[in-house]
Structure 1
Amino acid sequence: MPYVEASVRHRQCVAAARIALARDGVSGTSLRAVAAEAGLPLGTMQYVFPSKELLLRAVIEDVIEETAGVFRAAADLDGGLEHAIRLGIADFWSRLVDGRPDFQVMQYELTNHALRTAGMESLARWQYERYGAVIADWCQQAAQRAGESCAVPFAQLARLVVASLDGLIMQYVCDPHEARSRQDLEAVTEMLVGLAGVRADVGAIAD
């Protein structure tokens, strides 16, 4: 087998693991199954990831970074806070939820696995801290650029964005009714915009 850089092999294994996990779940995925998905000998897989837990940790980190990256890229910061909230939520849903129930189920399963596995609990906490920090940052940037203030701390607004999306996503994966989900997403967006209480900056509330 030709030499492949460790970083490339690592990404190859994580990508294969994500496919296997989305298809078979955490309990149904083994190192052997991931090796087969990646087209690698089991020995090579075990060299890169000596245990299933190490592989799952890498997958969780990869999924968190992908989701955080979508949150970061989704917001248009030049149209003010309300525009950023509306566009950010809509774009996130389009890119990571619509038509991707398997990805979302995998993400929930991995989060629950981290919470139930000794030594991995911090990954679940980091997941939500990461999402909240990214959203709070682009909300604050959008408000500052437009000379606006927010009626609640940006960190709180971000946590409620994440919590609202979590609930809608869970309903969507249990019953993928796209039209209804879009209507609910619009209603939640209106509530979040109302909570933000965007106004001209007269001493903006900072986090």
Structure 2
Amino acid sequence: MPYVESAVRSRQVVAAARAVMMRAGVGGLTMRAVANEAQIPLGTLQYVYPTKLGLLHAVIEDVVEEIATVLRDSAELDAGLGHAISNGLRNFWSDLVIDHHALQLLQLELVTHALRTPGLEDLPRWQYERYCQVVSDWCAMAAARADEVCAVPYSQLARVLVAGVDGLIVQHVVSPNSDHAADDVEALIQMIVSLAAPQPRSTASA
């Protein structure tokens, strides 16, 4: 077998583990199944990730960073806070929820599994803190570029936005309906923008 750098091999193994779990769920994850998916010997896999717990930790981090990256890149920050919220939510839903049922189901499974697994129980808190920080940052940046102020702290705005999106994702995974989802995303946008109530800084300070 040709030599493969450890960082490349690690990414290969994580991708294989994700593929296994997207087909068979977290309960279907075995080291042998991942080795077969990655087309590497079991011993090679165990050298990279000696335990299934360590592999799960890496998969959760990988999924979180993928979602956080899409969240970060979804917002358009040069037309004010309301526009950033509206387009950010629409773009995120289009890019990572529609036609990504297996990924979103896997994310839900990983959260509940981690909460019940010693050694992984702190990861879900880190996961949601990561999402909220990304959203808080781009909301603050959009408002600053437009010289606007937000009616609530950006941290609170981000928590409510992430919670709203999470709820819509669960509904969409349980009962996919594109028309309902599109309407509900628009309703959530209206609620979040109303909560933010952005206005020009000069007006707010007058």
Q: Which TM-score tier does this pair reach, normalised by the shorter chain?
A: over 0.9
1:173 maps to 173
Is the CA contact (8 Å cut-off) linking 1:16 and 1:34 kept in structure 2? yes
Which whole-Å CA distance do the structure 1 matches of 2:65 and 2:150 have between them? 27
Q: 1:28 to 1:40 in 2, by over 3 A?
A: same
Is the CA contact (8 Å cut-off) linking 1:149 and 1:203 kept in structure 2? no
Is the CA contact (8 Å cut-off) linking 1:76 and 1:83 kept in structure 2? yes
Which one-letter code corresponds to 1:36 in the other structure? N
* CA positional deviation for 1:89: 0.4
1:193 maps to 193
Deviations 1:115-139 (A, max 9, x none): 1111211111000000000000000
TM-score (norm 1): 0.97
Q: Secondary structure at the match of 1:77?
A: coil
Q: 1:137 to 1:203 in 2, by over 3 A?
A: farther
Deviations 1:51-93 (A, max 9, x none): 1111000000000111110011011110110000001001110
1:21 maps to 21
* CA positional deviation for 1:8: 0.1
Which whole-Å CA distance do the structure 2 matches of 1:166 and 1:48 have between them? 33
2:151 maps to 151
Which one-letter code corresponds to 2:170 in the other structure? M
Deviations 1:3-30 (A, max 9, x none): 0000000000000111101110111110
Pairing 1:108-123 to 2, within 5 Å after superposition: 108-123=108-123
2:50 maps to 50
Which whole-Å CA distance do the structure 2 matches of 1:64 and 1:161 have between them? 17
Which one-letter code corresponds to 1:41 in the other structure? P
1:37 maps to 37
Which whole-Å CA distance do the structure 2 matches of 1:170 and 1:203 have between them? 39
Which whole-Å CA distance do the structure 1 matches of 2:97 and 2:121 have between them? 25
| Stretch deviating more after TM superposition (112-121 or 132-141) | 112-121
2:102 maps to 102
Q: 1:41 to 1:203 in 2, by over 3 A?
A: farther
Aligned alpha-carbon RMSD (Å):
1.3
Gaps of 5+ in 1: none
Gaps of 5+ in 2: none
Which one-letter code corresponds to 1:71 in the other structure? L
1:126 maps to 126
2:78 maps to 78
Which whole-Å CA distance do the structure 2 matches of 1:50 and 1:27 have between them? 19
Q: 1:203 to 1:56 in 2, by over 3 A?
A: farther
Runs of 4 or more, structure 1, over 2 Å off, are: 202-205
Is the CA contact (8 Å cut-off) linking 1:148 and 1:199 kept in structure 2? yes
Which whole-Å CA distance do the structure 1 matches of 2:204 and 2:39 have between them? 54
Q: 1:117 to 1:204 in 2, by over 3 A?
A: farther
Tell me, yes or no, if structure 1 residue 66 matches structure 2 residue 66: yes
